[in-house]
Amino acid sequence: MTMNTLEKLGAFNVWANTTVLNRLDEIAATGQELPPVVLRLFSHVLNAQAIWISRITGTTSPVKVWQEHDLAGCQALHERTSEPLHQLMVNADETELQRLISYTNSLGDSYESLVHDILTHAVVHASYHRAQVATRLRDHGFEPVNSDFITYCRELSAAAQKAVPSL
């Protein structure tokens, strides 16, 4: 069986965003204020997903690249973007992955990129900024969560082992 790495990265991205949001929810539930920089960075992760989805699908983005959201807004945008981004990875055939997208970035510069490269970038970009979220949480005295890819893989393996009955 061949593993589709892009699909696995997409599933990881959903898991990682959910994991970070759950931690932010935990902090907020204690009555402590989330550092604004944390919400700004995580908003950017989700905004970027929305923007890339709109570029791939030829639709208008509902958000701007550095638009800020409160925690509820982040939850809503996560629901609207993380799994849909993953589904683009699941459903893309080789023709779609090799399709060239023309777009203009937030600075007004024009580019062309392959759908495969855009989808890969979206996950790498999100990982980069989730690491910044973790750093900023720690800077403000909060323990961050581990949202590393290998942690996701370990959780998958542990879940699979529990699902297999012992002989």
The binding site for a divalent metal cation comprises: 44, 125, 129
Which amino acid is present at 147?
A: S
Buried b / exposed e across 95-110, counting CB within 10 Å, b at 16+?
eebeeebebeeeeeee
Burial class (CB in 10 A: 0-12, 13-18, 19+), 60: exposed
d(CA 112, CA 24): 35
Annotated binding site: 44, 125, 129
Q: Could you give the residue ranges of the DSSP H alpha helices within the chain? A: 5-29, 36-57, 71-91, 94-97, 115-139, 149-163
d(CA 96, CA 40): 32
d(CA 70, CA 76): 10
